[in-house]
Chains A and B, each alone.
Chain A
Amino acid sequence: MGIFKKLGWYFKQEYRRYLLGVTFLILVAIVQIVPPKVIGTLVDLMDTKQLTATKLVMWLIILLAAAILQYVFRYGWRTRIWGGAAKLERTLRSRLFWHFMKMDTTFFQKHRTGDLMAHATNDLTAIQQVAGAGILTFADSIITGGTTIIAMVIFVDWRLTLMALIPMPLLAVVSRRLGAHLHTAFGQSQAAFSRLNDKTQESVSGIKVLKTFGQEAADIDDFNVIVTKTVKINKRVNLIDGLFDPSISLIIGLTYIVTIIYGGTLVMNHSISIGQLISFISYIAALVWPMFAIGRLFNVLERGNASYDRVEELLQETSTIIETPDALQIPATGDINYAIQKFTYPGDQQPTLANVSFTLQQGKTLGIVGKVGSGKTTLIKLLLREYDQYQGKIEINRHDIRDYSLDALLDSIGYVPQDNFLFSTDVRDNIRFADFERDQAAVEAAATSSAVHDDILRFAQGYETVVGERGVSLSGGQKQRIAIARAIMTDPEILILDDSLSAVDAKTEEAILMNLKTLRANQTTIITANRLSSVMHADEIIVMDNGQIAERGTHEALLAADGWYAKMWWKQQLNQALGGV
């Protein structure tokens, strides 16, 4: 029941809707008493031969009115209560979304996309059930259950009512127990499904290896074993699921038997009429659902509660990136000065950066190279304020970047990430991502600079081609170049290419770099790369190794120094010649 309290804010906010919904429920419950009563009364009138045309018409009109009112009231509560549940789901989903938008990298590393999606879908479904099915069963059990029992007592007989009610609580028990078992079995079934899914995924991804080793038959056998296991697990689900209806039948059957024996006795000694007995039997049918629902209610509330706690916990997390109250609003431009003593990723033991200091003058280009894991990207991440907790500082124009407002800092930076993520909308909107007001000419200019314009024109729908999962699949190089256009579009003071030329061929790379040089004559550019040709024209190149600067200088100087850079350079030249990278 605690979950009702936790959702109190919502019920308070929507009190009219719920008040109206519950009122309709009460009205339905009252009107529902009518048909059995009418049947019983008419039977008695017929049985005792007291039926007249007027009486008949009168009772039929009452029944007709009940039919219509029931319909209206049912429509009323359904739209109110189910609608309330849907609205709650939307409200919570909005909250979660906005929360996600504000969270930092640490948060997204802790929670994988799949988990966050699960919270925003499964958990929300469970919570909205509380506001829908939960409220309904709660109210319905009390109201419909209550009015029906009262009707039994008033219109029929209190002793019979008491006797017939004895087996009823069993319904609640059975529904709760079976519901819980079903939930567990269903969880296992879901897990089995996941395994099947993983297996299939793996076979499709590894199809070439499987073909190579001629293991198709063995792989099919392996799949079939998993399928057989899945059938076995689902058999249990089917079994439990199949027990619900029989259990209800048996318990209600018990009530009928009590009614036959005791109700029959009451008719025999004239305590009740035959019509009353018939009404009573109808009332029993009306009690089945409310009693059964009570058992279900507990399960709904339990799951809703757990889900609500999970979602709340997520919403309670805060970003570690905090804007100072009097943050600088001026655009972050000028010389960039790194003076980092130590940076360790949250949860890591070993520092990723140690004693990294350099100055990048405004308008110059810096190249950062080094082995995978040497700290290249980390340097960029700190500049983008994905992490704020490190010893030392990074300054732009002699102000610590943590003193700028996020708008002031990030608006000055154009960032092209490694994974060149594109949104599933058309190419145009991907390029003008930062500002939808920009016109086609501006978009094309940016695309031309990043040497992707011609590629785009070759697509069937040109700039209107939808990309991403559901659209055209682009080559890695095309994605990278669109991502570069997206960053150029904002004409940023500082442009960062984070290994974002890896999938374009040498000639195109050269063209893009030349375009950038003319386009961004007095602006700062930072390029990290595995392929050294990306940085060879930079004003300064730093070679990272194990979180420290190992070598620095211009391309020529580094070649002359004959260190890691020079070795790597020649190796890559050779690889290229042999048809490699």
Chain B
Amino acid sequence: MAKQYQSEWTKKVPLKEQLYIMKRLFGYTKRYKRQFIGAIVAAAGLATINILLPRLLQVFMDRYLTNQSATTQILLGVAVLYGLGVMLKAVTQFFQSFLFGMGSERAMEDVRRDLFQKLHQLGMRYFDQTPAGSIVSRITNDTMTLVDYWNVFLSLLVGSFSIISAFIAMWLIAPKIALATLTFLPVLLIVIWYYSSYSARVYRRMREKLSQLNTKLNESIEGITIIQQFRQEKRLTDEFEQVNADYLKTREAMIRTNSLLLAPIVNLLYTLALVVVLSLFGISALHSFVTAGLVYAFTTYVGNFFNPMTNMMDSLSSLQDGMVAGRRIFRILDQEEYAPAQNPDATNEITKGRVEFKHVSFSYDGEHEILHDVSFVVEPGQTVALVGHTGSGKSSIINVMMRFYEFYEGQILIDGHDIRSFPMTELRRKMGLVLQDAFMFYGDIASNIRLFNEQITDAQIRSAAEFVQADGFIEQLPGQYHARVIEGGAQFSSGQRQLISFARTLVTNPKILVLDEATANIDTETESMIQTGLARLRQGRTSIAIAHRLSTIRDAELILVLEQGQIVERGNHESLVAQKGRYYEMYQLQNGAE
């Protein structure tokens, strides 16, 4: 069998870190002080009403019922008072729950906002290293866990209020017996402590098994073709049965634990406390008078004393989950893999679009140099084509040029100024990148071309689409520019997606164009559309292109042949062919291709 994967949820968080995480998580609740304080006040009010109502009945019984002095007026009076008390109770219950719920909801959403904002400050390096799924689950699922986490504190608070107020009430009416009841407090604490530590273990094991079970199920569905082709249905089922049975076992253990230590034991303790209380009342009743109302009120308080326990114990299991979630959330918030920064006083503007690389060297990991001493100049309006094998450094030139990654050696100059002396917004506005894989967002065609930039008008979108010849297929869509785009733009061919991404770039009217030409096999018709689109896109703009199309290459004023991060040949088409070097070898192949 394969090694069992141990998830983060099953590991214990060290106490010191727990305190740190707790402190930071509580920081998020500060903004919603009003809600939380409101909820706490309501909880205190509730605890008070819960001791006043039995008190009312006690007085009613002892003063009017036992000595037969209750008139109809008194009966109604007590009923009205009681009714008012109940209404007040309902109000406090509502506000306690609602205010706390909203406070923690809002605080959680703040965590989400912070995380999302942080995400956009991080550099590409971070996204290269972290699977998308895990980032998403930090922002959505882990934050959700926080609500349960904050709820632990509500139930602890409500529980302590209830216990303390019950004790005070008991103390006021029968101090000695109240003290006797207090002896149950240590027992209570021991049970809570034991349950929370023991059940946490069982619970974590159960959760672990459940996640194994779901992984197995998910994987078996996704790999069904392989399973069936290799005739492994029986084995996979046996394996699944095993996990399924293991999960059942852990669940049964959880049920046993809860049955032994949760609600039933609280009830047992409560009834035992009743035995003690009643025996003490009974003993004193043997030689002095004990009123009925006193016994009633006191036994009710004993109930208040024990009631919140189940809830408290139950919620404690969320404490650990909250810690793990908090730890993972802060790992993102503390992440320092920032996107490259511009100079703080950067104010330059790109006017001409002249690009110069001066002895640029670059490495992704600080060890393996990907670009080595790269220098070249592109004059305004010119096109430079980058040619070379995968891994030769073509994409890295684009990556440093677009400031996706920081470089430390050499200089990139735009219009003669260091690239870091332009504000990022200026760079983004004046430099347009067309990616190989044209990523599409959920929305419609227009929103995909506009890409959140509300200043772009519908007319501009239309003319951009026309210019790159994307209008042809767009206008055949139902809804045309408002045709829905589903997840990833799956309904469009890669060629159509390309055209949309051309329009997306064109509409921003960049000075400098950075192109990563798609290599995907596209049918000839779309291919020629894309070629025209590309050519039009390049008109009057400085272009730096990873070129796969001979047309792009031949039109380029400068061709750079890259090998292992270095420029090995440079020149225009004619001069390079005349050189009879590497470029010439490649070019030879065109005879067959064209």
Q: 1/0 per position for B104-139, CB-CB distance to A under 8 A?
A: 011001001100110111001001000111011001
CB distance from A435 to the nearest CB of B (A): 9
B414 at the interface (CB under 8 A from A): no
Q: Tell me the complex Cα distance, A406–B119, Å.
A: 51
- Collect the chain B residues with CB atoms within 8 Å of residue A423's CB: 219, 223
Q: Tell me the complex Cα distance, A102–B94, Å.
A: 52
Name the prevailing secondary structure of the A interface residues: helix
Q: A60 with B282: in contact, given A67-B272, A223-B113, A264-B65 (CB under 8 Å)?
A: yes
- Collect the chain A residues with CB atoms within 8 Å of residue B214's CB: 117, 121
Q: A39 with B299: in contact, given A256-B82, A260-B75, A268-B70 (CB under 8 Å)?
A: yes
Q: Is the CB of B83 within 8 A of A257?
A: yes
Q: Is the CB of A227 within 8 A of B82?
A: no
A552 at the interface (CB under 8 A from B): no
Q: Tell me the complex Cα distance, A490–B229, Å.
A: 12
- Collect the chain B residues with CB atoms within 8 Å of residue A433's CB: 226, 230, 232
CB distance from A50 to the nearest CB of B (A): 10
- Collect the chain A residues with CB atoms within 8 Å of residue B235's CB: 436
- Collect the chain A residues with CB atoms within 8 Å of residue B26's CB: none
Q: A245 with B93: in contact, given A86-B252, A214-B425 (CB under 8 Å)?
A: yes
- Collect the chain A residues with CB atoms within 8 Å of residue B226's CB: 415, 417, 421, 433
Q: Is the CB of B97 within 8 A of A90?
A: no
Q: A218 with B453: in contact, given A79-B259, A204-B127, A208-B439 (CB under 8 Å)?
A: yes
Q: 1/0 per position for A226-253, CB-CB distance to B under 8 A?
A: 0110110011001101110111011011
A371 at the interface (CB under 8 A from B): yes
Name the prevailing secondary structure of the B interface residues: helix
**CB contact between A202 and one of B133, B281, B442 (< 8 Å): that residue:** B442
A177 at the interface (CB under 8 A from B): no
Q: Is the CB of A68 within 8 A of B268?
A: yes
**CB contact between B279 and one of A60, A94, A571, A580 (< 8 Å): that residue:** A60
Q: Is the CB of B119 within 8 A of A261?
A: no
A15 at the interface (CB under 8 A from B): no
Q: A101 with B220: in contact, given A47-B66, A579-B389 (CB under 8 Å)?
A: yes
- Collect the chain B residues with CB atoms within 8 Å of residue A68's CB: 268
Q: A574 with B589: in contact, given A43-B296, A200-B116 (CB under 8 Å)?
A: yes
- Collect the chain B residues with CB atoms within 8 Å of residue A216's CB: 120-121
Q: Is the CB of B75 within 8 A of A371?
A: no
Stretch with Cβ within 8 A of B (4 or more), from A271-279, A294-302, A450-458: A271-279
- Collect the chain A residues with CB atoms within 8 Å of residue B68's CB: 268
Q: Is the CB of B65 within 8 A of A274?
A: yes
Q: Is the CB of B248 within 8 A of A224?
A: no
Q: Tell me the complex Cα distance, A281–B131, Å.
A: 60
Q: Is the CB of A66 within 8 A of B271?
A: yes
A312 at the interface (CB under 8 A from B): no
Question: How many pairs, one residue from A and one from B, have CB atoms within 8 Å of each other in the complex?
Answer: 397
B86 at the interface (CB under 8 A from A): yes
Q: A56 with B87: in contact, given A90-B248, A261-B76, A578-B547 (CB under 8 Å)?
A: no
- Collect the chain A residues with CB atoms within 8 Å of residue B136's CB: 197, 200-201, 204
Q: Tell me the complex Cα distance, A59–B521, Å.
A: 90
B52 at the interface (CB under 8 A from A): no
Number of interface residues of A (CB under 8 A): 152
A410 at the interface (CB under 8 A from B): yes
Stretch with Cβ within 8 A of A (4 or more), from B160-168, B283-291, B569-577: B283-291
CB distance from A148 to the nearest CB of B (A): 16
A358 at the interface (CB under 8 A from B): no
Stretch with Cβ within 8 A of B (4 or more), from A387-395, A424-432, A519-527: A424-432
B102 at the interface (CB under 8 A from A): yes
Q: Is the CB of A94 within 8 A of B265?
A: no
Besides A90-B248, A117-B214, 14 more A-B contacts (Cβ < 8 Å) are: A39-B296, A86-B252, A93-B213, A113-B222, A121-B214, A202-B487, A204-B135, A211-B339, A214-B424, A215-B451, A231-B109, A257-B83, A421-B222, A469-B215
List the 9 shortest-distance A-B pairs measured between CB atoms, nearest first. Answer: A214-B428, A570-B592, A253-B86, A218-B452, A425-B2, A67-B271, A246-B90, A238-B101, A242-B98
Q: List 16 A-B contacts (CB under 8 A).
A: A46-B281, A74-B263, A98-B237, A100-B220, A202-B487, A204-B132, A214-B428, A227-B113, A238-B98, A238-B101, A242-B93, A245-B94, A250-B86, A253-B83, A274-B61, A567-B593
